[in-house]
Structure 1
Amino acid sequence: MPELLRKELGEFSSIVCFKAAISGMEEALGEKATAIALTTAGRARGKKLAETLGLVGASISLENAAEKLAVALGAEGTRLCKIEKILSEGDVIKVYTSETLCSAGEPLNSTRKCTFTMGAVWGAIEQILGKRLKGVHSESVLRGGDYDVFEFTLL
């Protein structure tokens, strides 16, 4: 079945509209249910992205994965976030991001977590590694961090 394409507007919409959808979902469903739904949606997006980039089952270093994800999710891609680096520290994979969709327009000290953004990175990393992971948003630019850091460990 052919896809309907937007001839003039293309694939992108504004952060303002996406954040309005998040706020509406939180109002209707509550914060916790919305966070679960957005993280799950993000994971599905990340898995599809990894497939599109040919990263599923590929023998690729985290450094190379970071480069490919940075292009796909950054200024040359969907503009979801900037991937600054991906590091493996023992059993933990840390993804350092900035300019995330989730943090945009938020006041300092906001308690907002990166749900969809973390989910997208999470899904991509799972596909690259071929393993199920547990993810947490461990550091936030909104609360004094230099980056939004997502930490992933094996289940």
Structure 2
Amino acid sequence: MSDTLTSRPTLGQFSSIVCFKSVITGMEEALGEKATAIALIAAGRDRGKNLVKELGLSGSTQDLSVIAAKLNEAIGANGTHLTAVDKIVEEGDVIKVYCSETLCSAGEPQGSDRKCTFTMGAIWGALSEITGRKLRGIHTESVLRSGTHDVFEFTSL
């Protein structure tokens, strides 16, 4: 991350979940849910691609468990705290990413239909940059709807 983004000597580079969630709900009020989802997924994809470039993983052919560990280090508890990347598995043509403590699900009531748009977008962008493939992503399981993880599934286009 560039110095311009971390130049807050007292407050540092992190903000609160409450503030981030306010950005989301404010965007939804102004733009509507669909337009907000599109914007947040696009922003996340950009973040994921740039992160992978910063980590030197573009076009990597490393094992998915190694990639999961490196992403978790960058965006999990030792990184930006976006989410914990618990595992990445490939099942046929589908790449499944299992995340916990996602920023988007934080503070949401059980049963909420909230989707992890920014978080999924970040993982999506990262995997696209790593694999060099154009992917389609969907949020298939949620901790808000009885899942053990927020699961994002990606297929090649």
Q: TM-score range by the shorter chain?
A: over 0.9
Matched, 1:115 2:117: yes
| Partner in structure 1 of residue 98 of structure 2 | 96
| Partner in structure 2 of residue 139 of structure 1 | 141
**1:3 shift after superposition:** 2.5
**Partners of 1:98 and 1:28 in 2: CA distance:** 29
**Partners of 1:112 and 1:59 in 2: CA distance:** 33
**Partners of 1:10 and 1:80 in 2: CA distance:** 16
Q: Which ranges of 4 or more aligned residues in structure 1 deviate by more than 3 Å? A: none
Matched, 1:61 2:63: yes
**Partners of 1:53 and 1:38 in 2: CA distance:** 22
**1:128 shift after superposition:** 0.6
Question: What do the CA deviations read for 1:116-139 (whole angstroms, capped 9, x no partner)?
Answer: 000000000011101100000000
Corresponding letter in the other structure for 1:140: S
Question: What do the CA deviations read for 1:38-96 (whole angstroms, capped 9, x no partner)?
Answer: 00000000000000111001221111100000111111000000001000000000000
TM-score, structure 1 normalization: 0.97
Corresponding letter in the other structure for 2:16: S
Matched, 1:3 2:14: no
Corresponding letter in the other structure for 1:106: E
Corresponding letter in the other structure for 2:4: E
TM-score, structure 2 normalization: 0.96
**Partners of 2:63 and 2:38 in 1: CA distance:** 29
| Partner in structure 2 of residue 45 of structure 1 | 47
**Partners of 2:112 and 2:59 in 1: CA distance:** 38
Figure out how many residues of one structure are paired with residues of the other and give that number: 154
Structure 2: 5+ residue runs without aligned partners?
Answer: none
| Partner in structure 2 of residue 22 of structure 1 | 24
| Partner in structure 2 of residue 130 of structure 1 | 132
RMSD of aligned C-alpha atoms?
0.9
**Partners of 1:3 and 1:69 in 2: CA distance:** 23
Corresponding letter in the other structure for 1:42: G
